[in-house]
Structure 1
C-alpha cells in the first residue's frame, strides 16, 4: 500500500508536466532503456527515444522531454524522449526569450534525430526577425540547442501562410524554379534546376523528407528537363486520345489540348460557349464535337459494364452511386465484385498513397487512382457503402463527427 501511495503521488505530481523538459540523473540501464531519477520518482527513456548512439553511465546528468505520464501496474510511469520534435521546440523556448514571451511562435518542427532538423518560425512583431532571434548573437542560441542534441544540424525557416512560399523556404539550401500544388490530393510538385536536384533531395532523401514533414505535404521533385519532357508526353498523349476518339486531324486535336481540355468528359459536358471561344470553331462544329465525345464515352461505358458482368459483378455494386462503369470494371479485375467487398476496402486502397518503408517513401497504387479519386472521395464512397449495408449507423457517425469538431474547436 505504501508503494501504491508513492506511485499515486508520483502520477499526481507529474501528470501536469507532460510536454515539458525535465532534468534528471541516470540510475541504471535495463535492456538498452535508461532509468532516470527525477527527484520524487523514476522515469524511463526507452532506447528508441535516445538520439543516435547516445550512451549514459550511472550518475550522468540528463535532460529530456516528458512525452507521456500514465498509470502503469508496475515500473516507471513517466516516459521520456530526446527524439520527439517537441523536445527541440521546448529547448528553443528555453534559449530564446522571444519564444517564451510569445513574440515568436514555432509553427512546425521536423527532425531526423541526431542528424538534421528543420524548424518553422513566425514573428508577431515586425521589428523582430524570427530567424535572427533564434540564431542569436554569433549563433549562440542555436548552438546551445545543437550541443544538447549531439550536434544535430538545424535549419531555421521563416514560416509563411502561403504553402508554396513556405515550401520553397523549407527546401533550402536548394533553389526552386516552380511549385505546382494539387490541393485535392495533398501533393505538391517542385521543379528545380538540373544541377540543384541532389541538393534538394539531400543525402538519402533527408532534405525533401524533412521538408515534407514540415509542410505536411507529399513532395515530388522534378528537374526542369524532366518536367518539360513530361509536359510534352502528356500533350502528345492527349492529342492522340482526341484524334482517335473524336476522329480529328492532328492540328485540331492539338488545338483542343492547347486550350486546356484534358479529357473527353470535359469536351462532352463543358458549356458550349467554351468550345465556341476556340478560334475557328463555330456552333455546328462544337455540337458535332460534343456529340462524338458523348457517343465514345457511352460506348466505353457499355463495354466496361459488359466486362464487369462477365467477371461476375453483382448489381449492388454496378448500381452504387459514385462509381462509373470503368471504375466498376477496374474493381472487378481486382476481385471486388459485391458491395460488401467494396465496403471492406480502405480509402488508400482506392485512392492510393505513400508508405514509409525503412525511411524511404514507397508509392501505393490505388485501384481507382487513375480516375482521379481523392482520399476524401474514397472515404466518402466506402462510408456510404457501409451505411447502405447497415454496418454503420449514420446517427452515431454524425455524433462522432460533432464530437471531433468540438474537440478541434476546444484545441483552437
Structure 2
C-alpha cells in the first residue's frame, strides 16, 4: 500500500470517522497513524534509524523524515553525528541541534499494513479507555441506570452506555435476581484504571445509594434545605437515615416521608421493600441516640466520649424492641451514631447501682472504721473515694445529717492517715520493684502509679519518657472495622490522654531530649494544620 495523492485525504477522513465512532479526539487517531507509518518506514530503512512521520492536518500528506542529533561524541552512528560531520549539511551546526532529512515514502507490504493497523487499533483502544475512565470517574458517587447483559459467577455485568459496570454479588441486595435485558439502577461506588481498561464497580447495598435515592425523590434534599447526616443499612431488610432541616418551617422527617408516604415508598420499592426509619438528627449525641433507637423507649443515657461508648437504659419490656431481631435495631443505631452501645434494662441497671453502693459503703466501713449507716450516708451524698473525703472542703461534710465540725475533722484525719499509710507501703513496693529515684521524684506520679509502672517494666525517667500517651492512659484502636481496647498502665488512675501526653513531654524536657522552642514550634504547626483543616471543611461545605 503506497501513500499516494489519491488516498492522502482518506487518512484524515478515516481518522475523523474512527474518532466520531469511538467518541475520542481525532488528533489521537492521526498521531496513531503517524506512529504506525513510522514503524513501517523503520522496517524498510532500518530499525536503528530515527524515522518520523508527519501528516498534514489539512491535506493529509504524509512526510517521512530521518532525524539525527549533533553531539560531542558519537555513540550511535545511525542517530548521531559530530559537529564536523554536520557542517556540510548545516554550517552553523552546534551540539544539540537536530538535522532533519526527508526520505522517500515507503511501499507498505501486507505485513507492514497489518502492523500499522494493529498500532492504530491499540492507540484508539487506549484513547477510548482513557475517555471512558475520565467520564465515569467524574460520575463516581452518583446513580446510573443500566441494562443487565449477563451474570458471571454471581456478579452481574451491566451495560451503562459507553461502558460496562460490575455489580458484585456482595453488592447486590440479598434476594434480588436479574435476567438479561432487565433494567437496573445502581450506585457508582468506584472507578479504577486497570491494564484491561477502566473497571466500574456498582453497588445497591451502599448507604450512599439510599442517600442518592432520597435526593432524587425529595426536592428539599436536592436544594440543600434538608441534609442527610448519616445512613445505616441492613440491605434488603431495614435501614435508618438521619436528616436535619436548615429551614425551621420545614419538618425534615415529614418532607422525606412525603404525602401519604409517597416519597419514602418510592425508595422502599427500589430497595425491594427495605423498611426505612427516618430520624431527626441532633448534635447532642445522647438525644440523637434516643431518636436512633426508635421505636424503643429510652429512660436513661450515659455517654463516655473518650471511649466513644454509650450506655442506654430501657424499661424491661422494651429490651427486645431496643435490640431488635438478631440485634438489628441496636446495630443500625450504632452505625448511625458511630458509638458502641451497651443496652441495660432498668432492673439490671438498678442491680448494678446497688452493687456499686454496697462496694463503696464497705470501703468506707473498712478504711474509716465507720458503722454501716454512717458509711451509707457518705455514699448517698456522692462521696466515691477516700481522696474525696480526705481533701474535700469541710463545708461539704457539714451538710450531712449528724456531722458537726469535730466529726468532719475526725473523718478527714482518719482518711488522710489511711492514705498516708497506703502511700508509704506503695513507695516501699515501688523501690523493691527497682523504680529509681529519678522517676520517684517526678511530679504528678503517685506511689500507686509508681508501683503500676514498675510492674510494667518502667523504672527510670528515661523509660517513662519513651512511653506513648496511649500506653499510659489507654485508648481504642480500629482493627478490621471493630474498635479494640488498648489498656493503659495508668488507666485505672483516671489519667487522660492529654495528661499522659503532658507528663511524657515534661519528662523529655527534663532529660533534654526536646527544648521549649521545639515544643512551641510543634504546637504552632499543629494549630496551623487544624486551622487549615477547618477552613477546607468549611469551603467543602459551602
**Counterpart position of 2:348:** 226
Distance 1:181 1:12 in 2: 46
- Indicate which of 453, 474, 480 corresponds to 1:351: 474
Change (3 A) 1:30 1:235: same
- Indicate which of 419, 422, 430 corresponds to 1:297: 419
Q: Following TM superposition, by how much is the alpha carbon of 1:275 offset from its aligned partner in structure 2, in angstroms?
A: 2.2
Q: Following TM superposition, by how much is the alpha carbon of 1:366 offset from its aligned partner in structure 2, in angstroms?
A: 5.7
**Counterpart position of 1:402:** 528
| Equivalent residues of 2:307, 2:476 under 8 A apart | no
Change (3 A) 1:72 1:288: farther
Partner of 1:179, secondary structure, is: strand
Distance 2:469 2:186 in 1: 38
Q: Following TM superposition, by how much is the alpha carbon of 1:300 offset from its aligned partner in structure 2, in angstroms?
A: 2.7
**Counterpart position of 2:537:** 411
Q: Does 1:215 align with 2:341?
A: no
Structure 1 segment 12-411 matched on structure 2, within 5 A: 12-27=134-149, 32-52=154-174, 54-313=176-435, 323-330=445-452, 332-333=454-455, 347=470, 350-351=473-474, 368-374=490-496, 394=519, 395=521, 399=525, 402-411=528-537
Q: Following TM superposition, by how much is the alpha carbon of 1:256 offset from its aligned partner in structure 2, in angstroms?
A: 1.2
Distance 2:151 2:433 in 1: 61
Structure 1 gap ranges (5+): none
Q: Which structure exhibits the higher relative contact order, with contacts defined as CA atoms closer than 8 Å and separated by 6 or more residues?
A: 1
Distance 2:464 2:225 in 1: 54
Q: Following TM superposition, by how much is the alpha carbon of 1:98 offset from its aligned partner in structure 2, in angstroms?
A: 1.8
Q: Following TM superposition, by how much is the alpha carbon of 1:193 offset from its aligned partner in structure 2, in angstroms?
A: 1.1
Larger radius of gyration, structure 1 or 2? 2
Partner of 2:417, secondary structure, is: helix
Q: How many residues align?
A: 411
Change (3 A) 1:158 1:292: same
Partner of 2:198, secondary structure, is: coil
| Equivalent residues of 2:132, 2:198 under 8 A apart | no
Q: Following TM superposition, by how much is the alpha carbon of 1:171 offset from its aligned partner in structure 2, in angstroms?
A: 0.9
Change (3 A) 1:341 1:107: same
Q: TM-score, normalising length from structure 2?
A: 0.65
Distance 1:382 1:343 in 2: 8
| Equivalent residues of 1:313, 1:332 under 8 A apart | yes
Distance 2:165 2:474 in 1: 43
Q: Following TM superposition, by how much is the alpha carbon of 1:227 offset from its aligned partner in structure 2, in angstroms?
A: 1.3
Distance 2:312 2:207 in 1: 25
| Equivalent residues of 1:158, 1:169 under 8 A apart | yes
Distance 1:382 1:19 in 2: 44
Distance 1:200 1:229 in 2: 20
Distance 1:318 1:31 in 2: 66
Partner of 1:107, secondary structure, is: strand
Partner of 1:273, secondary structure, is: helix
Change (3 A) 1:375 1:247: same
| Equivalent residues of 2:476, 2:486 under 8 A apart | yes
Change (3 A) 1:328 1:17: farther
Distance 2:508 2:332 in 1: 37
Q: Following TM superposition, by how much is the alpha carbon of 1:33 offset from its aligned partner in structure 2, in angstroms?
A: 4.6
| Equivalent residues of 2:465, 2:505 under 8 A apart | no
Partner of 2:222, secondary structure, is: helix
Q: Deviations over 1:150-200 (max 9, x none)?
A: 332211112233333322221111122222334454332221111111111
The RMSD of aligned alpha carbons is 3.7
Partner of 2:384, secondary structure, is: coil
Change (3 A) 1:157 1:305: same
| Equivalent residues of 1:353, 1:366 under 8 A apart | no
Distance 1:162 1:273 in 2: 35
Q: Following TM superposition, by how much is the alpha carbon of 1:77 offset from its aligned partner in structure 2, in angstroms?
A: 4.5
Q: TM-score, normalising length from structure 1?
A: 0.82
Change (3 A) 1:257 1:182: same
| Equivalent residues of 2:472, 2:491 under 8 A apart | no
Distance 2:476 2:409 in 1: 39
Distance 1:351 1:375 in 2: 8
Change (3 A) 1:44 1:368: farther
